[in-house]
Chain A
Amino acid sequence: QKEVEQNSGPLSVPEGAIASLNCTYSDRVSQSFFWYRQYSGKSPELIMSIYSNGDKEDGRFTAQLNKASQYVSLLIRDSQPSDSATYLCAVSPGYQKVTFGTGTKLQVIP
């Protein structure tokens, strides 16, 4: 069983719509959760971090965490073509040890 699971996609959404990216993890002691965006040929770029249950909003991005269900998601409102990228979910039990999912490819259609 993979430690961090994501649907590989591609997830296609029209411009202006909400993109919903999901991630499940297996390690119940996980404490820190991250979403990275990776454009093709580029390195991962941190978008959001979340540490407690509930929602965390930053501009058009909202991260949602449910530790009981071992589930973390990322919502992108008003999706733009520039949001087209692979989104990596990352999970950590602490002490900087991070496990990455395989990523979901998002395509925003103009």
Chain B
Amino acid sequence: SAVISQKPSRDICQRGTSLTIQCQVDSQVTMMFWYRQQPGQSLTLIATANQGSEATYESGFVIDKFPISRPNLTFSTLTVSNMSPEDSSIYLCSVAGGASWSQETQYFGPGTRLLVL
């Protein structure tokens, strides 16, 4: 079955620094998304990563804080910039569409657990 991987799996960072999270899929997908899941909370969509163009951000999330790239149909990055302790969360990428994936259903990567001190 198709595989979604994320790097790093976890990190501890100092406030004011930035972290780039990678999401790699082993087959081409139509859609890639980035979510945040804060402790004890549900998933909140940060943005849709668009291949070859700027990401589409949800209300409350801005490109300066969460720049996203998607250079091709199998890879995306999310950067958490100028981090504060409030950014401590699990960051998840999800995918949908393509030959190996349902168009209607999202499948999640393993997540990146971020702690900001």
Contacts and interface: CB of A to CB of B under 8 A. Distances in A.
B57 interface: no
Contact of A44 (B41, B48, B97, B108): B108
Nearest to B108: A43
Query: Chain B CB within 10 Å — which of A34, A98, A101 has the most?
Result: A98
Interface string A94-107: 10111011110000
Contacts, number: 46
A19 interface: no
Interface string B89-117: 01010001100001111111111000000
Interface string A69-110: 000000000000000000010101010111011110000000
Query: Chain B CB within 10 Å — which of A32, A43, A44 has the most?
Result: A43
B104 A100 contact: no
Contacts of B43: 44, 88, 100
Given A96-B31, A96-B96, A96-B97, A46 B42 contact: no
Contact of B106 (A94, A96, A103): A96
Interface in A29-50: 32, 34, 36, 42-46, 49
A91 B86 CA distance: 27
Interface of A: 32, 34, 36, 42-46, 49, 51, 88, 90, 92, 94, 96-98, 100-103
7 contacts: A42-B110, A43-B108, A43-B111, A44-B43, A88-B42, A96-B96, A100-B43
